[in-house]
Homo-oligomer: A and B are copies of this chain.
Amino acid sequence: MQIHSVKDALLYLGGRAVSDLKNIKLTIQYDGTQYSGWQIQKNATTISGILQAQLSRITKEDVKLIGASRTDAGVHALGQTAHFLTRCKIPPQKFSYVLNSVLPKDIVVGHSCEVPLSFHSRFDTVGKTYRYLISNSLFPSPLDRNRAYHVPQKLLFHEMQEACTLFSGTHDFSAFRAAKCGAISTIKTIQRIGLTKNHETLAMDVTGDGFLYNMVRIMVGTLIDVGLGKMASDEIRRILLAKDRRRAGRTSPGHGLYLMEVFY
């Protein structure tokens, strides 16, 4: 029997004491370039697949690792979080060292610690911060390959900044989600959003209570339309109200996106 949740664990353990069952939280960084995203898939190399296999090997248990965000192929993370239940005697804070000694160099566990058995990395999140990088140089920079979305055309930065602020607050983000998004509620709150420029790199930082599937990438695709002069900045307001995916911009590529932090 796989231990997938506290309930499973209790069923499995029956009347036995749960005192030796631990819930371990990991904070994970990765360069997503070589992976088919976070979530385990058949016939594809994924970040959670690699982590879960190594954890199962280390603990000699059938570990089920659950992550806060199911990042897509090519998406990077500086602060992904995940948790798993184990009876393994390794001190919780040592899991990062043990894992980093066996993980490929593009996945690093920055921190591991014990959390209450009731903690769930995905369902307990109260917010996340994402960053999206756009490289706005004539030719793609060799040091930004797979790290930023290259847009060679001139972008109207101030118009993009203005448009950006219109996402702030609580809105129905139906127009900014992929067709296959299965979220029940499309109402989300953006607590903080901003667009900054450093030389030829534009960075959009966004913190919200939750994000629909591809929401950040569609927001960026729409901002780029504003930057290219294809769309007025205040059109964002109308797209939000229209709730029509077809009026928003294209989904910008995954390799510009970074999961920066998950809040609990």
Residues of A bordering B, CB below 8 Å: 29-31, 76, 78, 96, 100, 105-110, 137-143, 145, 147
Contacts and interface: CB of A to CB of B under 8 A. Distances in A.
A108 B29 contact: no
A180 to B, nearest CB: 28
Give me the 7 closest cross-chain CB pairs, A-B, nearest first.
A31-B142, A106-B142, A108-B139, A108-B142, A31-B143, A29-B142, A30-B142
Nearest to A97: B139
Contacts of A29: 141-143
A139 B76 CA distance: 17
Contacts of A100: 139
Given A31-B145, A145-B31, A105 B140 contact: yes
A110 B140 CA distance: 9
A29 to B, nearest CB: 5
A137 to B, nearest CB: 7
Nearest to A147: B143
B31 A108 contact: no
A219 to B, nearest CB: 22
A123 to B, nearest CB: 27
